[in-house]
């Protein structure tokens, strides 16, 4: 597999994930958080099932237990905790905590599925974490006040990132022998079932006819681009390179967010953000470069 193809795949997933924040903000204008999360996976599940039927990809029903666990942590837990945290803490806190925590937490948890946490990877994770923080903090004017609500929100965001890391680690055990499409489809169905009851704590889905066209557009982007496209690539990376290296996509999301803001909104990145983007790419290159070196050294020579 060429480095170019891997780079395109990772960049596409990062852009798709970065789009979810803009799409989510648009959708939340008239859709409550839990109803939004539920409908996101309702639409995504319908699209994934259609693709599975067209491609005749079977669902790994016999592996439903680990898939249900992965969905409980990644599809339900991540969304629920992230939304609750956003109600209590600034978006800038969430943007710093989530992309910097997911790869590190996944790298640690991946040792449970026999992935080695080597020194070069630890250094790469550390550098990329610093770069992601610079990218996001460089464009924010974060106040110095500290409140109990904000601290609670930050802890919820931290828990959501760890929840996604657990999902990636568990999913690695499934996608080793099952198709990525089958796994994501079944996990999305489980996620929909887990989230659905929580919508009744808001408006019970009785407000659906009142949702605006802009909110539906945001929901559509969130479901198709940031879920179907992003998740299929994300878990393909987990299957191909392991959970910790697949999680590197999270580091690229803030950088992709800068590009989207420039291309779509005309927002120019600040110099400090550009510096942070370079630092992120350096950290990712350290980890991926180590992977490529090991892969090339283990590849058999032609006869």
pLDDT, position 126 = 74
Crossing angle of helices 230-241 and 3-27, rounded to 10°: 140
pLDDT, residue 99, reads 72
Q: Is 23 exposed, middle or buried (0-12, 13-18, 19+ CB in 10 A)?
A: buried
Place of tokens 């980890």: 287
The per-residue pLDDT for 268 is 66
Angle at 21 between CA 141 and CA 201, to 5 degrees: 110
How many residues comprise the chain? 303
Question: Which residues in the chain land under pLDDT 50?
Answer: 141-144, 290-303
The per-residue pLDDT for 92 is: 55
What are the residues whose beta carbons fall under 8 Å from the beta carbon of 4, sequence distance 6 or more?
Answer: none
Nearest one of 36, 31, 69, 21 to 195, comparing CA atoms: 36
DSSP H helices in the chain: 3-27, 33-55, 64-70, 78-86, 91-109, 119-137, 148-175, 180-195, 213-223, 230-241, 243-246, 249-265, 271-298
């Amino acid at each position: 597999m060429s480095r170019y193809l891997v780079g395109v795949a990772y960049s596409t997933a990062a852009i798709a994930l970065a789009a979810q924040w803009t799409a989510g903000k648009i959708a939340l204008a008239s859709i409550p958080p839990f109803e939004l999360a539920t409908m996101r996976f309702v639409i995504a599940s319908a699209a994934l099932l259609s693709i599975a039927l067209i491609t005749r990809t079977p669902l790994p029903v016999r592996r439903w237990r680990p898939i249900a666990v992965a969905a409980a942590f990644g599809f339900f837990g991540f969304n629920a905790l992230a939304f609750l945290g956003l109600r209590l803490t600034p978006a800038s806190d969430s943007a710093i905590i989530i992309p910097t925590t997911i790869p590190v937490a996944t790298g640690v948890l991946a040792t449970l599925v026999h992935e080695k946490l080597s020194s070069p990877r630890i250094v790469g994770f550390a550098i990329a974490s610093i770069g992601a923080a610079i990218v996001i903090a460089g464009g924010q004017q974060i106040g110095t006040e500290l409140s109990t609500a904000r601290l609670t929100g930050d802890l919820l965001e931290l828990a959501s990132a760890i929840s996604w890391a657990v999902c990636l680690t568990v999913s690695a055990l499934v996608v080793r022998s099952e198709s990525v499409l089958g796994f994501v489809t079944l996990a999305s169905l489980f996620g929909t079932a887990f989230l659905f009851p929580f919508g009744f704590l808001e408006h019970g889905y009785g407000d659906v006819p009142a949702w605006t066209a802009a909110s539906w557009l945001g929901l559509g982007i969130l479901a198709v681009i940031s879920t179907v496209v992003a998740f299929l690539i994300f878990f393909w990376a987990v299957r191909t390179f392991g959970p910790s290296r697949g999680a590197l996509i999270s580091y690229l999301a803030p950088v992709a967010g800068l590009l989207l803001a420039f291309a779509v909104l005309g927002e120019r990145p600040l110099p400090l953000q550009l510096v942070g983007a370079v630092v992120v790419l350096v950290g990712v290159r350290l980890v991926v470069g180590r992977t490529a070196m090991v892969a090339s050294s283990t590849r058999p020579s032609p006869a």
